[in-house]
Amino acid sequence: MKPWEVCTWRFPDAGEQPAVLLGTDERVRLKPRVCVILCSTQRAARKPEVHEVLLDEADGLDWETLCKCDVVYAAPKTELVKHRGSVTVERRRAIAERVIRSLGLAGL
């Protein structure tokens, strides 16, 4: 399990959805919980909003999918299943930027 991998997790109030792992290699390796963000299982039917990034087959998903960067969850590693792939480098930067902006960290 590594940062930027896409797995499946049962999100509270959202059910089983793709999850992008965030953090450092060391944190993901050592901690029992990892930070993840939710991606919709629905095929994207609209353009991403300011807090979203569009992922697709290059990232291990079945189709264009909205990844929501405004909420970070702490998921037990034991509950992450079905490794799907890894987010492309270009989209990693977009996700990081939107997480920082969405959580209000850019203004510090």
> What is the C-alpha separation between 4 and 21, in angstroms, rounded?
5
Tell me the pLDDT band of 37, cut-offs 50, 70 and 90.
very high
Q: Give the three-state DSSP class for 78.
A: helix
Amino acid in the structure at residue 107: G
Q: Give the three-state DSSP class for 89.
A: helix
**Looking at residue 44, what DSSP letter applies?**
P
- Report the pLDDT averaged over residues 33-61: 92
CATH T-level topology, domain 5-102: SH3 type barrels. (2.30.30)
Number of other CB atoms surrounding residue 50 within 10 Å:
9
The pLDDT assigned to 55 comes to 96
CB 69 within 8 A of CB 106: no
pLDDT exceeds cutoff 80 at 17: yes
The pLDDT assigned to 108 comes to 64
Lowest mean pLDDT across 1-5, 8-12, 42-46, 51-55: 42-46
CB proximity list for 62: less than 8 A, separation 6 or greater: none
| Percent of residues, the chain, with pLDDT higher than 70 | 99
**Looking at residue 42, what DSSP letter applies?**
S
The pLDDT assigned to 42 comes to 82
- Report the pLDDT averaged over residues 32-48: 91
